Amino acid sequence: MSNIEAVAEEAKGWRRHIHQHPELLFDLPETASFVAGKLGEFGCDQVVTGLAKSGVVAVIEGSKGPGKTIGLRCDMDALPMSEQTNLPYASKVANRMHACGHDGHTAMLLATAKCLTETRDFSGKVVLIFQPAEEGGGGARVMIEEGLLESFGIEEVYGMHNEPGLDIGSFATRSGPFMAGADRFVVTINGKGGHAASPNLTHDPVLVSAHMITALQSIASRFTDPFDPVVVSITFSEAGNEKALNVIPASVRLGGTIRTMQTTTRKAVEQRFRDIVHVTAKLFETEAEINWMPGYPVTVNDPTRASAAASAAARVAGEDRVDQNYEQSMGAEDFSYMLEKRPGAMILIGNGDSAYLHNPAYDFNDKAIAHGVRYWLSLVGQELGSR
């Protein structure tokens, strides 16, 4: 264990280095080369760069003969926001910040690589996946499209994300749907503009948009099962001109996001959304165009793998520090693409009493590093038989 503490201490330095040099989406040249450099230094059997542009994949073979191949995944990208932590190791780049702890996730997986290459006390193979573009770019999907799962023979996948508000040294997961599917939309209502004093000569799209916004709220309140969470948020509305208040505009644009927690509900809600938009537009003699932008799928933990993840965490953290039935989140996570293709599980690791994710005051808690590394090693030990 003392070795893990020493590696975790070293990883704190890596984490702070990455924190100072945040990069966005698929463009992570410095982060990816830092990660690939470390993995090469540790003596991983294979280090492959360039998947999804900045993704890095490393393979470590166990010394105990053949066995299954499991993938451990972390994300490496930051967010386009200004850091307000006043930390000595704060971001050195304006309007970029590691505000979701992906710097910590990367450091923990690097530290795990270092420990695994030193011991190799397992059968089969561990594939370490360092992915770009979790924050909106779907980097996981692109890595899968480029052959990640097949070319490395990955049979199961595991992910870990930090969770502010959960105690340091604690873990949380759940079986089945864990995080939401998140889709976005922009609707354009095309009517007929004209003089505000003669509304009878127009097809007023502003009135239509008001009916549409109201009717769309019936999806969550009247269409879906109250025990099946759905969020419909209209976050964008644009029409007319405040300097021409006597003009009814010809069109209105509305936009927003829809969150669902079941794949079947996600499909049904999309259809209901389309019906409401088109029928409401037609009712008032206007037409609507929908630009539907599918986002991350629902993050669904395989029940067996979720319980394996929980028991691997319990082996190092203790039963009482692992919540196996943690609340669902309406946030979304692109690890969901990997879970669509392979059985696996996402686990949350406590970040203690910190600001929440995507907050300018947020910082990953370095005290979590050793716990995260112990979890990854415990999972490898449990699944690949080194115990």
Rounded to a whole number of angstroms, the minimum distance from the CB of residue 49 to Ni ion is: 22
* 316/349 with CB nearer Ni ion: 349
Which amino acid appears at position 252 of this protein? V
Footprint on residues 168-227 left by Ni ion (CB under 5 A): none
* 97/100 with CB nearer Ni ion: 100
Rounded to a whole number of angstroms, the minimum distance from the CB of residue 200 to Ni ion is: 52
Rounded to a whole number of angstroms, the minimum distance from the CB of residue 328 to Ni ion is: 16
Rounded to a whole number of angstroms, the minimum distance from the CB of residue 100 to Ni ion is: 3
* 212/332 with CB nearer Ni ion: 332
Which amino acid appears at position 203 of this protein? H
Binding mask 45-84 vs Ni ion (x if CB under 5 A, - otherwise)? ----------------------------------------
Size of the site for Ni ion (CB under 5 A): 1
Task: Choose the binding region for Ni ion from 95-103, 107-115, 187-195, 378-386 (rule: CB under 5 A).
Answer: 95-103
Distance of CA 373 to the CA centre of its chain: 20
* 4/110 with CB nearer Ni ion: 110
* 133/187 with CB nearer Ni ion: 133
Residue 346 makes contact with Ni ion by CB under 5 A: no
Task: Choose the binding region for Ni ion from 93-101, 110-118, 122-130, 294-302 (rule: CB under 5 A).
Answer: 93-101
Rounded to a whole number of angstroms, the minimum distance from the CB of residue 336 to Ni ion is: 13
b/e 352-385 (16+ beta carbons within 10 angstroms → b): bebbebebeebbbbbebbbbbbbbbbbbbbbbbb
* 39/100 with CB nearer Ni ion: 100
Task: Choose the binding region for Ni ion from 63-71, 96-104, 114-122, 287-295 (rule: CB under 5 A).
Answer: 96-104
* 136/194 with CB nearer Ni ion: 136
Place of tokens 């890595």: 143
Residue 366 tokens read as: 């370095």
> Does residue 44 contact residue 72 with C-beta atoms inside 8 Å?
no
Place of tokens 């009878």: 200
Task: Choose the binding region for Ni ion from 30-38, 97-105, 151-159, 338-346 (rule: CB under 5 A).
Answer: 97-105
Residue 35 tokens read as: 């990660």
Task: Choose the binding region for Ni ion from 85-93, 94-102, 175-183, 300-308 (rule: CB under 5 A).
Answer: 94-102
Rounded to a whole number of angstroms, the minimum distance from the CB of residue 358 to Ni ion is: 8
Rounded to a whole number of angstroms, the minimum distance from the CB of residue 295 to Ni ion is: 14
Long-range pairs of 145-153 with CB within 8 A, sequence gap ≥ 24: 146/51, 146/52, 148/51, 148/55, 148/57, 149/71, 149/338, 149/341, 149/342, 152/57, 152/59, 152/69, 152/71, 152/125, 152/127, 153/69, 153/125
Rounded to a whole number of angstroms, the minimum distance from the CB of residue 162 to Ni ion is: 8
Q: Where are the beta strands (DSSP E) in the chain?
A: 46-51, 55-61, 69-75, 125-131, 156-163, 171-172, 176-179, 181-190, 194-195, 230-239, 247-248, 251-260, 287-293, 299-301, 322-323, 344-350
C-alpha 161/C-alpha 139 separation (Å) is 16
Rounded to a whole number of angstroms, the minimum distance from the CB of residue 73 to Ni ion is: 12
Of all residues in the shown chain, the one whose CB is closest to Ni ion is 100
Among 181, 119, 139, 156, smallest CA distance to 54 is for 139
Pick from 70, 76, 100, 187: which binds Ni ion (CB under 5 A)?
Answer: 100
Place of tokens 């770009």: 132
201 CB-side CA count, 13 A: 8
Q: What does the binding site for Ni ion look like in residue numbers (CB under 5 A)?
A: 100
